[in-house]
Amino acid sequence: MRHFIFMIICCCVVTAVQAHVWGVVVDESGAPLVGANVYWAGTQTGVATDADGRFSLEPLAGHDKIVVSFVSYVTDTIVIREHQPLQIQMLSELELAEVDVAARRVAAVKSRVSVFDTQKITGDELCKAACCNLSESFETNASVDVNYSDAATGAKQIRLLGLSGQYVQMLTENIPNFRGISSPYGLGYIPGPWMESIQISKGTASVLNGYEALTGQINVEYKKPQTSEKVAVNLFASDAARAELNALAAFDVNPYVSTGVMLHASDEFAEWDHNGDGFLDMPRVAQYNLIDRWYVKKGDYTGQIFARGLYENRRGGQLKSISDPYRIDIETGRAELFMKNGYVFDHESGTSIGIITNATWHDQHAVYGRKGYDGTQWNAYLNAIFQTSWTDMHKLSTGLSLNYDRYDECLRTDTLHATVRNEIVPGVFAEYTFNWKDKLILLGGLRADYHNLYGFFVTPRLNVKYNPWDFLHIRASVGKGYRAPAVLAENNNLLASSRVMEIADDLKMENAWNYGISLTGYIPIARRELTLSAEWYYTDFINQIVVDMDTDPHKVIFSNLSGRSYASSAQIEANMEVFKGFTATLAYRLTDVKTTIQGRLREKPLTNRFKGLASLSYQTPLKKWQFDFTAQFNGGGRLPDTYYVASGTDGQEVPAWNETFDPYIILNAQITKYFKTWSIYAGSENLSNFVQSNPIIGAAEPFGDMFDATMVWGPVHGRKIYIGFRWSLEREE
């Protein structure tokens, strides 16, 4: 074994501990153990380790021994002799000759300690599917849906709690990202092999990261140079003639400085039109992506510098062989630079200060047939946070932020419409946490911001977590969120239709209240643990930018909400390692989303009414093979109001499309063979080859007034078969 159970021992032995005990619990390989129980010997006073295996235990007079226990591991008792961080390594109860065999690590973890309803998708979970980029990272997740927004551009959007992605605050390393012009295509900008983990937080989120989270936050953590593999390579190819290369290299410059680079290159080498409508099933996307980052840790100071450059070209539309083809051509350049600086003044009280600065440039030139959109967005972001705690019961985080956006946009239709918009938003915030023995946690947040175009507004949020017993966790939340409209920037992919974009002049900020409650139970069964969760979230809009595709089938109208608009989402989920190496996730969600359109409260179109998920994974002993299978059961829903066209020789009028769409099932599977330093994987997406019939309306006359590529509710490509190769040289411990 490369790791040992250890703690720092000093010469003076004390009989009582007067300061809190903290540390991390890991398995034999050094991986963190999530949900391990840490408590004072002879009592029931303790905590569970968080998603990173960490714990912090409040002192208890007269006790100097802690007990650490976890399912399928040997329970350990440790004497506390000095106030120092602990690293506790647990041993498996099952042993084979020369090899210790532990219970399979959970790949998607619901946090036991966070006051927020948070789930962490780890690197192990990401490897269960092809996961070429962020948009494909949620195939085995029940909470997040990812759908194509149209059948021509390949743009994807996520849905959380029944609402589209602009109501979810997207973060990378806790920095707001993929806002405005980057939002339609931003999910494709993060390659899967670059991601260390993804955190999904539902409902009211922390005010520390801003005011824009109306339904929750999704935070992506990139691999870090100080902890990632020394070298890693991932190669991917599919039968759709798509090829990808991802490479990573990291090393320590000296004991205080680490650096790393990540490279991505991908392209498609063929055009496919399986349904014979003359349009490519999927656009050809070529992307080149590079990251360079530095990490500094010396004493109580931590610093990071992150630089990134991206170029992407999307080429779609009609086949080249067609005379005067309808062409989709979207060229994007993007650059990011962020710096993080943090200093810890006092470890015991957690007093620290952190300053985050970020700058982004995003430039897009898009052609949609005879229409066009050119947009450039500059963003500058500052967030300064001060944190301290008086005792383990009381913690305060406060600070200030500044966000600046400049949009230069040009819409080319029958006329030329150019605008320049500057948005400046300074803000202050505070967040207080009351923690009573980790059984009751209250977190209240408040921030005040001033938008130069929309004025002053206040964002209150409250989260509560209560554990009446160790096996039952109850969470509740209520809070408000805001977002400034950026209609052209966020919806320019809708230009892939003959619809006229009609935008009201007096659009206001969107804002909504979000209410939620969730229950999570941890039930021991045959020395394993069944996790059951049930949740309900309700988003109630005060104002919303209504995207009206019903009033006129030849228009898309953007206007302020006049009436009610809400989204209700209820979900149940079960997770368990059923037997050694075999894990299963079963989930079911009901969604009810309605918006007032022209005075009528109507079901939101292109929204699934329910979703079911079954995700099964089996890993053979000694991790030689892994088999993964996922079934998604997607409910039907409503389509925007249609119009009628003449059909046949008798001229009888029929609807251009149906009023509703039916439920459908998507099946994915993958097999992975592991070797010592490398692995190969092969799989298939959409095994049943289900494809939405005629996803493009009026494809025969794309320059006519009936053309519409935005009526997408299901897959636009059929079965996809892929193969991949992963190799890595792990960091020496």
126: enclosing H helix or E strand: helix 123-126
* Dihedral, 536, 208, 223, 90 alpha carbons, nearest 10: -70
* 39 pLDDT tier (thresholds 50, 70, 90): confident
Q: Is there a contact between 168 and 146 (Cβ–Cβ < 8 Å)? A: no
- Provide the 10 A C-beta neighbour count for residue 635: 17
- Exposure b/e, 399-421, CB count within 10 A at least 16 = b: bebebbbebebbbbeeeeeeeee
Average pLDDT, the chain: 88
Pairing status of strand 86-89 against strand 21-26: parallel
Could you read off the pLDDT of 577-608 as tens digits, one per residue?
Answer: 999 899 999 999 999 999 999 999 999 999 99
Pairing status of strand 625-634 against strand 664-674: antiparallel
How far is Cα 710 from Cα 703, in angstroms, rounded to an integer? 15
Could you read off the pLDDT of 491-526 as tens digits, one per residue?
Answer: 888 899 999 999 998 999 999 999 999 999 999 988
Q: Which domains does the chain have, with CATH numbers?
A: 21-101 (2.60.40.1120), 108-220 (2.170.130.10), 221-729 (2.40.170.20)
Q: What is the pLDDT of residue 584?
A: 94
Question: Residue 171 above 70 pLDDT?
Answer: yes
Question: Residue 22 above 90 pLDDT?
Answer: no
Classify residue 134 by its DSSP letter.
G
Name the percent of the chain in helix, strand, coil, to the closest 5. 5, 60, 35
* 15 pLDDT tier (thresholds 50, 70, 90): very low
Question: Residue 215 above 50 pLDDT?
Answer: yes
Q: What is the pLDDT of residue 20?
A: 65
Question: Residue 96 above 60 pLDDT?
Answer: no
pTM, full prediction: 0.85
How far is Cα 463 from Cα 537, in angstroms, rounded to an integer? 13
Question: Cβ-count burial of 506 within 10 angstroms (0-12 exposed, 13-18 middle, 19+ buried)?
Answer: exposed
- The residue among 7 and 337 whose pLDDT is bigger is 337
Out of 68-82, 484-498, 556-570, least confident range: 68-82
